Structure 1
Amino acid sequence: MEPVAALERIAFLLEREDASPYRVKAFRTAAHAARGLPDGPVDTASAARLPGVGPVTAQVIAEASTGGTPGYLADLMARAGPLAEGGEELRAALRGDCHLHSDWSDGGSPIATMARTARALGHEWAVLTDHSPRLTVARGLTAERLRAQIAEVAEVNRALAPFRLLTGIECDILDDGGLDQDEDLLAELDLVVASVHSKLAMEPTAMTRRMVAAVRNPLVDVLGHCTGRLVGGKRARAESRFDADAVFTACAATGTAVEINCRPERRDPPSRLIARALEAGCLFSVDTDAHAPGQLDWQAYGCARAAAAGVPADRVANTLPLEALLAWTSR
């Protein structure tokens, strides 16, 4: 194994197990520094002189440069078992991921890196859904930046064909149910995820009106992390309150998919609401909401939850081949 591949694999596996972003960054920085190394063995002292390389990453470089598997990587691989039990058949049927972020907003990696990783995981397509402008804390994209991103996605697709990275956005649902981006520009995108990110404790009747208005907008394809909850730890946050039956009935009527968000700290919707959405006749989208390459493997979490709720594969948008997916989003 050569050093860059070893360092990038370590970073991926650390992201997969939700390690500290600072720890991951050390390995990605070292991988960038190691790209200029000549072939052949490199001693630890020489590796440590590379910019941004510390003692641990220097050791990895030295061990990998001899063709072996570094000990640090071997330990990660030994504990990198299945992320969840159940849902294996659904995971095998998935063709893509409808919700992921790059370093254009609050993700940590370039667009091309996210796309290459999605392809390496077996996806035929994936949708880039960086945030809309009002979410300034996440460096949401203005209309001008979104247009520039569309051009960059086209460049990535030229390099990675036949894999296809689709243009998209995670668009804030405004207080009145409107969308946080120019609708003419939204109409140019392949897929729109709409999510509530503000005033999550809004009074239930108003929140219901807000969400129903958004999912009835013909530009919206997926309702993202519908309760907005966070589970466990210091960042725990209660669910938003709304009339789930009214929202899911609107989703079913308009063909808007209810997202089963795979992030471990979200697990959104809760299981009882997945069951309500299934009963209402909704489509689903099992999405990682990945902010780093290794998190693209988190679909296993959502597939296990979908399978436990009895969601059949033919009700999951991610199982659609590319042309069928685009036909659905352009309905």
Structure 2
Amino acid sequence: MTMDATAALTEIAFWLERDLAPVFKVRAFRSAAATIAELSPDELAARADDGRLKDTKGIGGRTFEVIRQAIDGQVPDYLADLRAKGAVPLAEGGEELLAQLRGDLHSHSEWSDGTTPITDMVATARSLGRHYLALTDHSPNLKVANGLTAERLSEQLDVVADLNAASDSFTLLAGIEVDILEDGALDQTDAMLERLDVVVASAHSKLKMESEQMTERMIRAIRHPQSNVLGHVTGRLVQGSRGTRGESTFDARAVFEACAEEGVAVEINSRPERRDPPSRLIQLALDAGCLFSIDTDAHAPGQLDFLPYGAARAEANGVPAERIVTTWPVEKLAEWLKV
């Protein structure tokens, strides 16, 4: 009995993404998986045996080794090593809260700056036991991230509707990570925002503006009637390939009071290079009476497994589960989102 080679390659990509491996390295395994996906087990074995597979575009030395070992009925060595590494928890603490998380309100697909199709993100979210996932690709102002125009976003809504129609046990929420423009306006038409289930409002530019201006900017975005979540609040980067970046400065108390008044959740961003907001601001948001959303901000399927980072930080800061919207069942979440 052979191990499914396509599944082995896809799982390797998942573990590499979870470990924030370089995109080119992940792409090699996802490309190889796509290359062999339509081949029957017998055809795949025949091509591996007679040398044709090695000469196939998209199959390299390492991916061929994985396929060969899978055909031979083994768990490929490379996959076994990644599984062993992945068995170690990503974060210390937060297990009880993690078990209560039902979904994720911040993720990206290849429609903007994510690496894979929407279907791959959905399949992985389901495999991780999620009940729902919000697809929140970027808005048009963020050209570096291939932000979606209103026309492209409208096309994406049709894709989301089709996927939901084909599933009765998982909900894909139509959303956007909308850029907070310099004046606090949201970077999408009001008519388009009204069609969405989830709006994550985030600042991506002019992060060093004066504190008073940044405060006004953020509060205007929070008070927009379509805003649901305030994303990666300070914009900081604490590690990673993009280097480090300090926090934006603003009147956090005023910002969080506005979030509490408007019912906008403060995101606890689970990306290890962000860890945003810092603990002192989580405490201020708690004191202000805010709701929270623990999200992955995933740009690849393996990154959907980042929730342990956010759960550990939330638990360490005493955030009660009932104030975390991503612990809510989809019916309660829908009431809060007014969808």
Letter of the aligned partner of 1:329 in structure 2?
A: L
Range that drifts further, 62-71 or 283-292: 62-71
The residue aligned with 1:296 is 304
The residue aligned with 1:311 is 319
The residue aligned with 1:25 is 27
Equivalent pairs counted in the alignment come to 331
Range that drifts further, 156-165 or 214-223: 156-165
The residue aligned with 1:10 is 12
Q: Once the two structures are superposed, what CA deviation does each residue of 1:2-26 show, in whole Å capped at 9, x if it has no partner? A: 1000000000001011111110000
Instruction: State the alpha-carbon separation in 2 of the partners of residues 35 and 131 from structure 1.
Output: 30
Please state if 1:48 is matched with 2:50: no
State the 1:184 CA deviation. 1.3
Q: Once the two structures are superposed, what CA deviation does each residue of 1:37-74 show, in whole Å capped at 9, x if it has no partner? A: 32144537343122210010001001111222001100
Task: Decide whether the 8 Å contact of 2:193 with 2:199 is kept in 1.
Answer: yes
The residue aligned with 2:159 is 152
Using the size of structure 1 for normalisation, the TM-score is 0.98
Task: Decide whether the 8 Å contact of 1:104 with 1:139 is kept in 2.
Answer: yes
Instruction: State the alpha-carbon separation in 2 of the partners of residues 283 and 256 from structure 1.
Output: 7
Letter of the aligned partner of 2:145 in structure 1?
A: A
Tell me the SS of whatever aligns to 2:130. coil
Q: Which segments of 5 or more consecutive residues in structure 1 lack a partner in the other structure?
A: none
The residue aligned with 1:284 is 292
Please state if 1:58 is matched with 2:64: yes
What is the identity percentage for the equivalent residue pairs of Structure 1 and Structure 2? 58
Q: Which segments of 5 or more consecutive residues in structure 2 lack a partner in the other structure?
A: none
The residue aligned with 1:209 is 216
Letter of the aligned partner of 1:57 in structure 2?
A: T
Tell me the SS of whatever aligns to 1:48. coil
Structure 2 counterparts to residues 1-331 of structure 1, below 5 A: 1-40=3-42, 41=45, 43=48, 45-80=51-86, 81-233=88-240, 235-330=243-338
Tell me the SS of whatever aligns to 1:168. strand
Letter of the aligned partner of 1:258 in structure 2?
A: V
Instruction: State the alpha-carbon separation in 1 of the partners of residues 55 and 178 from structure 2.
Output: 44
Tell me the SS of whatever aligns to 2:268. strand
Using the size of structure 2 for normalisation, the TM-score is 0.95
Task: Decide whether the 8 Å contact of 1:47 with 1:61 is kept in 2.
Answer: no
Instruction: State the alpha-carbon separation in 1 of the partners of residues 16 and 285 from structure 2.
Output: 33
Tell me the SS of whatever aligns to 2:309. helix
Instruction: State the alpha-carbon separation in 2 of the partners of residues 103 and 300 from structure 1.
Output: 24
Question: Hey, which bits of structure 1, 4+ residues long, moved more than 2 A?
Answer: 40-47, 158-161
